Chains A and B, each alone.
Chain A
Amino acid sequence: MVRAILGRALSSLLVVAGSSLLVFVIMYLLPGDPVDSLIDPSSATPEQIASLRHQLGVDRPLYVQLADYFGKLLQGDFGKSLLNSEPVLPKIVEHFPATLALAAASALLSVVAGVLLAVLSAVHRNRWIDVVARIVGLLGISMPTFWSGILLLLIFSVHLGWLPAMGSDGWRTLVLPAATLGLIGAGFIVRMVRNSMLEVVNEHFIVTLRSKGLSERSVMYRHALRNALIPAVTMIGMLVGEMLAGAVVIETVFSRQGIGRIVADAILAKDLPVVQGVIVFSAIVYVLVNLLVDISYSYIDPRVRRAA
């Protein structure tokens, strides 16, 4: 078991290294010179441009830049912002808790609402609750967040005035963004777990359980659900990626603090080191979460545990 986890951890490290490399290459291939965003190329002298390029280190050969980049990453140095020379990592760390709160709240919401709806709809198939679940599933995966977010904003804060429209102080500001983002996750989970439940309910062992005289509640919640969750758990790991990507839009729509907001601003300002830093940071978070999911997987499914 420990060996299996170590193996997974090692491969996670490789994924982080690979994605850092990919980000570096993409940034390098982007059209335009990073210097352009700092000074107006039409008014600057060639000497000024050259000296700025030297300052930024982009005049060095590619492999030197790459080695420098990885060397600094290993020391936790994510580079400096082009705009104000602030170091990138402390800024990310400062704003990450807000994004974490948003991601955690929406993940919690999607798992609780998604699993609950899925089970109810599988147990009461073709009843009204099943219809509701299917609608949530459809809306969740098909509505873009910038649209559903604005819709929720209009209804609950503009018209009804129940919740604040923007800001990131206190739990009340978290409700609408988390609901918007959670709807996507809930949509995916409802569809997935519902299908998986409907499959499990047709397994032979369900007949055995009923023939033992167990109540429907035990059959459904203690046995069927646990089996149905096995494929869903992997998906919950992947949802974290969705949440991080969604945060970029949501934090902008609801004017929240967070790394999504940082990256959105940095993209508009062509502040490449910041963009690069946030992406690498997100990759690390994503890989860590999936590592945890893999470990928890083996606790839910004994077959995985024993095979390891």
Chain B
Amino acid sequence: MERLLEINDLSVDFHTRRGLLRALSEVSLTIRRGETVCLVGESGSGKTITSKAVMRLLDYENGRIAGGRIRLDGLDLTALSQNELRSLRGKKMAMVFQEPMAAFDPVYTIGYQLVETIRRHETRSKKEAWEHAVSLLARVGIPEPRIRMKQYPGELSGGMLQRAMIALALSCGPELLIADEPTTALDVTIQAQILQLLQELKEEFRMSILLITHDLGIAAEIADRVVVLYAGRVAEQAPAAELFARPHHPYTRGLLDSVAALDTEKGEKLRSIAGSIPSLSALPDGCLFHPRCPFASDKCRNEAPPLISRNGRAAACWHTDKLLTATNAEKGSARQEIELLSEKLILAEKNPSASPFESPEASPDLFQVSGLRKFYRLKGSLPGRARAHIRAVDDVSFAIRRGETFGLVGESGSGKSTLGRVLLQLEKATAGRIRFGDRELTGLRGAALREVRKDMQMIFQDPYGSLDPRWNVGDIIGEPLRVHERLTASEKKERVARLLESVGLDASYANRYPHEFSGGQRQRIGIARAIALSPKFVLADEAVSALDVSVQAQVVNLLQELQEKLGLTYLFIAHGLQVVRHLSDRIGVMYLGKLVEIAPSRELFLRPAHPYTKALIASIPSADIGAKRERIALQGEIPSPARPPSGCRFHTRCPLATARCKEEEPELRTIGSEHVAACHYPL
């Protein structure tokens, strides 16, 4: 196959206040025509910088190509002027971005922005360009394209905008499509649709794709070849199948373990990569990965390994051979482990009363929720008139047992976060009852409510936004203590120190400020704050979604450890199904304000009863390259909770829906032991 893009020894510098920083060094990669290459690595590894170097968009961001060549179809992109590049951008190479919501200019219509691009590169009349744009929108699966053309970006959903973005990128028939985390901001169901679309279009438009992702599952699914970046260098590159079967670099191996481990059942400790990616201003000597590498030797500490090619793949590691023999040896023992584990699980299932958290006098349930509703009145609707509500949570009943982790999954807009907030009384329920232990929460006000709050804490999604940047860590963690307990300064200091240690941070960090910490460390600080008052219950709303996989695994381990030590009960809300599976005892699936299925975690994944659950599970990209899944990715998008469909709310997207589903709303029915689902025709 002919080579379309060739990057040789590319180095990129950034001008910063602290001087020049080398963000990429000697990166080489090639993409052949019709090939899909995935660039993977943690955040900060240089993936996006590589893509922006190809587009030469770096010039606008204080970046500079310090060395190396980038050739697109024989043309040296590093030698072209911005003016010459402009006629290539959008025409020969085009780009799709991570945040579809932010990638369009909000004050022009979708149609305007498409036509603008087409007319920039091709001499077509306005009318021709408009028609071409309409056909593109139709091709990428946007319903009613003529109406969408006249709409503004704010009026479309994220999934629709990403499709429109792809249409925009395709508008002048590029040969190279660069997609920078194109599905990261989207739900798994929409992610599956977009990935499928990209693959179809690749064939149809005969493009090459450079796909940047942190998700190895996506790479396994669509890549022909994978390039792994670490701290601005290529750690490894190989054909996808070979890379996933036998990684030649310990970093790749670590990433794979972090992902694969999430597929496992609860209780097992996850393998993760220790520490986090180094900052560009403080790179270690020798091999950049050595501080986090289990194989590191003196040689690694002193000498940077070159990228050595063998059999059509390449890795930059002194100890590839050691890694390979270690992997082979482990494979045997891993099989034994799995057998042991399944035996344990069978035992546990046979003897359910063996749960250590059950005490005879108290009810086994910590939370009992019945008939819970939370409606928001739509702006502009008059009070007293019916139907003008967003039904975020609509008649939900379930229980959370003491000491368990209850997982809650569903697409965005399904009402999971609202449910969590109503449970904690951060928002008042519209109707229904919530019992917490032996107290009725819905009627509590003032001091009584504050008293209960001690027992219910929360961990937030965004580790950056949830810590006050002007408070030091000691004050942040100590605030709940200050509010609820009378402690002297030295007692408080002592408690904060112990809390920091219990989340795996150094006690001396109490005097530092949030900006000095990485995302994973900040999340640990948030956890320390949540457990400061020894609560009974912790709500973790997307607590690990913003973190890199390797760090996710660390935080998940911490959460499990704390649960065992402190006897915590968790409600774990996430859109990442694998994490939920790993952490949860039982899982509830939400769709448009309704709980449609509740089952023990293992049961749910093995035998989903609701077609929605099945579709969610099928949408997860799997890093296991051998198991190419059947694609029954869900069609369409979640409807508006202001006007939910009649009958079963899922019937508009359900492959099995009948006339009955349209009229009659299914009740939650028992499917098996501890397994309920709201479906007329459970699978």
Contact = CB atoms under 8 A, between A and B. Distances in A.
B89 A213 contact: yes
23 contacts: A205-B102, A205-B106, A207-B57, A207-B103, A208-B97, A208-B105, A208-B168, A211-B57, A212-B89, A212-B117, A213-B88, A213-B90, A214-B86, A214-B90, A214-B116, A214-B117, A216-B82, A223-B108, A227-B107, A302-B152, A303-B106, A303-B152, A306-B155
Q: How large is the interface on B (under 10, 10 to 19, 20 to 34, 35 or more residues)?
A: 20 to 34
A84 interface: no
Interface string B44-65: 0000000000010100100000
A210 B60 contact: yes
A208 B103 contact: yes
B400 interface: no
Contact of B91 (A204, A213, A303): A213
Nearest to A307: B379
Interface of A: 203-205, 207-216, 218, 223, 226-227, 230, 300-303, 306
Given A207-B97, A302-B152, A303-B154, A213 B105 contact: no
B120 interface: yes
B60 A213 contact: no
Contact of A204 (B60, B99, B116): B99
Nearest to A302: B152
A301 B121 CA distance: 28
Given A211-B55, A211-B57, A227 B106 contact: yes
Contacts of B155: 306
A215 B89 CA distance: 11
A212 B107 contact: no
B117 A213 contact: yes
B452 to A, nearest CB: 39
Interface in B83-113: 85-91, 94-95, 97, 99, 102-109
Contacts of B97: 204, 207-208
Nearest to B103: A208
B625 to A, nearest CB: 31
Contacts of A203: 102
B107 A301 contact: yes
Given A213-B120, A214-B90, 18 more contacts: A204-B97, A204-B102, A204-B103, A205-B102, A208-B103, A208-B105, A209-B105, A211-B57, A211-B90, A211-B95, A212-B94, A212-B116, A213-B121, A214-B86, A302-B152, A303-B154, A306-B154, A306-B155
What is the predominant secondary structure among interface residues of chain A facing chain B? helix
Nearest to A205: B105
Interface in B108-160: 108-109, 116-117, 120-121, 152, 154-155
Contacts of A215: 86
A268 B121 CA distance: 68
A180 B90 CA distance: 47
A230 B108 CA distance: 13
Closest 9 CB pairs of A and B: A213-B90, A213-B89, A204-B102, A212-B90, A211-B95, A212-B117, A302-B152, A213-B86, A208-B103
Nearest to B104: A205
A208 B120 contact: no
Contacts of B85: 213
A226 B87 CA distance: 24
A211 B94 contact: yes
A213 B87 contact: yes
Contacts of A213: 85-91, 117, 120-121
B152 A306 contact: yes
A226 B106 CA distance: 10
Nearest to B178: A211
A302 B156 CA distance: 14
Contacts of A230: 107
A208 B104 contact: yes
Contacts of A301: 107
B104 A212 contact: no
A227 B109 CA distance: 13
B105 A212 contact: no
Contacts of A214: 86, 90, 116-117, 120
A181 B165 CA distance: 46
B57 A227 contact: no
Contacts of B57: 207, 210-211
A216 B105 CA distance: 15
A204 B60 CA distance: 13
B157 to A, nearest CB: 15
Nearest to A208: B103
A210 to B, nearest CB: 6
A132 to B, nearest CB: 23
Contacts of A205: 102-106
Contacts of B152: 302-303, 306
Contacts of B55: 211
Contacts of B107: 226-227, 230, 300-303
Contacts of A302: 106-107, 109, 152, 154
A210 B105 contact: no
Nearest to A202: B61
Nearest to A308: B380
B81 to A, nearest CB: 12
Interface in B149-180: 152, 154-155, 165, 168
Nearest to B92: A213
Q: Which of A205, A211, A215, A227 has the most CB of B within 10 A?
A: A211
Contacts of B108: 223
Given A213-B86, A215-B86, A303-B152, A223 B105 contact: yes
A301 B153 CA distance: 12
Contacts of A209: 105
A207 B106 CA distance: 14
A211 B104 contact: no
B360 to A, nearest CB: 57
B147 to A, nearest CB: 13
Nearest to A300: B107
A215 B116 CA distance: 11
A269 B121 CA distance: 70
A205 B104 CA distance: 5
A114 to B, nearest CB: 20
Contacts of A208: 95, 97, 103-105, 165, 168
Contacts of B105: 205, 208-209, 223, 227
A206 B82 CA distance: 16
A302 B113 CA distance: 14
Contacts of B106: 205, 227, 302-303
A234 B121 CA distance: 37
Nearest to B171: A212
A230 B120 CA distance: 26
Contacts of A204: 97, 99, 102-103
A212 B103 contact: no
A308 B61 CA distance: 38
B676 to A, nearest CB: 41
| Residue among A213, A214, A306 having the largest count of chain B Cβ atoms under 10 Å | A213
A174 to B, nearest CB: 35
Among A208, A227, A306: residue with most chain B CB under 10 A:
A208
Contacts of A303: 106-107, 152, 154
For B85, B99, B103, B121, the residue with the greatest tally of chain A CB atoms inside 10 Å of its CB is B103
A4 to B, nearest CB: 10
Contacts of A227: 105-107
A221 to B, nearest CB: 13
A302 B107 CA distance: 6
A234 B493 CA distance: 49
Nearest to A223: B105
A210 B102 contact: no
A54 to B, nearest CB: 53
Most buried by B among A209, A210, A214, A215: A210
A100 B82 CA distance: 47
A226 B108 CA distance: 10
Nearest to A216: B82
B102 A212 contact: no
